[in-house]
Amino acid sequence: MFYIHLHVASWFIALILFFTSWYLLSIDKQQSAKMAHSINRIIFLVIFYTGFVLIYRYTQAPVWENFSAEAVVKAIGGVYLVCLMEWLISRFQKKLPSRGLVIQFFLLLLIVIALGFGRLPWGFLP
């Protein structure tokens, strides 16, 4: 249970820091955005560690037979979501067009949240 809560809290903090970096870059506060982005990278390490622990525990639990594909899709989606956060911040810094990546980010965020909270058995929703 500890790793589930740590994983969710890490994602929450990472999303707050991501949107903070995005906002700071939009008002041209490069140095502050760089600090928020650096802190976010440390949070990404916590996300990867807790995600690995959770996927390992799923493989050892009896629910793996019924939810293995969904757990793997959520894990791959989570890794890609972190990659999208990195790509988006770098594109915002360089002031490059990023509409497609933003659309991917929000769609994948909805999918990962729906799988994590609603569909997988260790989620918070019934």
Q: Does some domain include residue 126?
A: no
Residues 12-40 pLDDT 10s: 999 999 999 999 999 999 999 999 999 99
Per the structure, the complete domain to which residue 45 belongs is given by 2-119
Residues 37-62 pLDDT 10s: 999 999 999 999 999 999 998 888 88
Look at the chain and report how many structural domains it folds into: 1
The span from the CA of 107 to the CA of 114, in Å, is 11
Q: Integer distance in angstroms from the first to the last C-alpha of the chain?
A: 16
pLDDT interval class at 112 (50, 70, 90): very high
pLDDT at position 119 over 90: no
Q: Does some domain include residue 110?
A: yes
21 touches 33 (CB < 8 A): yes
Q: Does some domain include residue 24?
A: yes
